Amino acid sequence: MKLFQFIKLILFFVGICLAVKNPVPNGKKFKSVLSKDALVPLRDPKTGVVKLTDKNIKLIVNPAVREANIVVFLTANSPQIGCKACKDFLPIFQKTAKTFMESYPDKTLDNSADQLSNRDLFFIELDYSVTGEFFKSLKIDRVPHIWVVPSYDVLYRYLTTEKNLGPDELADPSNFLLKSSDHYQYSVSEGSSPQEFSNYISAALQISFKISNGGNDGFELDETTVGMAIIAISIIVIIKKKINDQDNTLLQKASKPRVWMGLSVLLICLFCSGYMFTVVRGVPLLARNEKGPFYFAGGSQYQIGIESFIVCGVYLFIGFWVVLLTDILPKYAPIEEEHQSEKVVTVTEKDESNKEEKENDTEEKEDSEEKDDVPQNHFHLSETAHSVLVIIAVIGLYYAFSLLTSIYLKKDGGYPFAMSRVL
């Protein structure tokens, strides 16, 4: 009966799940639109970069609706200004733009509109010498700046799911204009490279875009790899020697089933949470925008490194409550009355059993030290206490699943099966 009550309680919590849909309007309420067709003719076929001046910069500044994602490079190439960081990053920006243009051909002529196209992302260069008025309007006093600006659809989902803006606020064009809308800002550093830059763009814009490292993405036998291999082998040899010196005591402890069970569960959760994706794709551990680091990349086609560890922790959190409900709490369940009456013994029987226990006391102590299993339970919870713990465990399990579905909602605002939102 208790099992059926537990199942009914689980079904009750699952029954309150709601289907959540978050359609994106087409943006027709805004008159100004930056279409993909307007930027394609301006793209340099040699570098893949769109260079704008004060004469045509309104093309990206005025529209509230952008059909494509854009990456804006605010730079100053004039020798009088002498921006070394701008000069050093320009080849990286151009290589990234050219690689994207060549790697993702135009999909408008076939039936692959759902796939990534070079019309979905444009790299735009704004030089201070030819777009000075725009720089002054932004009150920018230093360069370079790299803005990763999402398209209208992506930005709309972000404003509704992350900022929870209502219809009135979404009708305000300032939430979508280039100067005032939310965007990601890439920080140029000495370690910047086309590979790292493309990974950042992928995380920010929810796309899968990676630049190979000159064909050296596979296994490379260098001094670092050889050194780490030597260190690993040395550690294994030392551990094996210690095991032999201690008469295999350490080996016996390390070979306990529960140790390997726990290690296996940890590795399973880690790899099922997308760890290998981050390794194969070479994605960054963390991504950052103007508000600081963020821990979940939007979209179901991409993730940053920290996500795999967070999801792994959530899986383990769910597993804890499942084990508590199915394995631990049943051991401490209250005993039924008929079973208790069977365990009642006479005083004589107790005396005889006590004598036998005293005689075997030494042997039992020695045996207990060698046992690997969990000690036998010597008490049982009352029915009230057991019921309270079951309810707490069920609530904990519901919260853990809500945490998992909340992560899904962060990845995709249109995910239809949401429990309580806790993120």
Instruction: Output the pLDDT for position 111.
Output: 44
Cα dihedral 242/245/251/254 (nearest 10)? -40
Question: Does the pLDDT of residue 181 top 80, yes or no?
Answer: yes
Mean pLDDT score, 75-80: 89
Q: pLDDT-derived band of residue 91, with 50, 70 and 90 as boundaries?
A: very high
Mean pLDDT score, 98-117: 71
**Hey, what are 360's tokens?**
């075997």
361-370 and 347-359 helices, crossing angle to 10°: 60
Q: Where are the alpha helices (DSSP H) in 57-193?
A: 58-61, 84-103, 132-138, 152-161, 167-170
Q: pLDDT-derived band of residue 90, with 50, 70 and 90 as boundaries?
A: very high
Instruction: Output the pLDDT for position 159.
Output: 80
Higher pLDDT, 157 or 316: 316
Q: pLDDT-derived band of residue 42, with 50, 70 and 90 as boundaries?
A: very high
Q: pLDDT-derived band of residue 307, with 50, 70 and 90 as boundaries?
A: confident
Q: Each residue of 327-351: pLDDT tens digit?
A: 889 888 887 655 554 544 444 455 5
Residue 253 to residue 368: CA distance in whole angstroms: 15
Q: pLDDT-derived band of residue 25, with 50, 70 and 90 as boundaries?
A: low
Mean pLDDT over the full length of the chain: 75
Residue listed under structure tokens 């920080």: 187
Instruction: Output the pLDDT for position 358.
Output: 54
Mean pLDDT score, 318-333: 89
Q: Each residue of 54-69: pLDDT tens digit?
A: 888 998 988 888 889 9
pTM of the model: 0.52
Q: Each residue of 284-301: pLDDT tens digit?
A: 777 776 567 778 876 666
Phi, then psi, of 191 in degrees rounded to 5: -90, 5
Question: Does the pLDDT of residue 265 top 70, yes or no?
Answer: yes
Phi, then psi, of 123 in degrees rounded to 5: -100, 120
Burial class (CB in 10 A: 0-12, 13-18, 19+), 281: middle
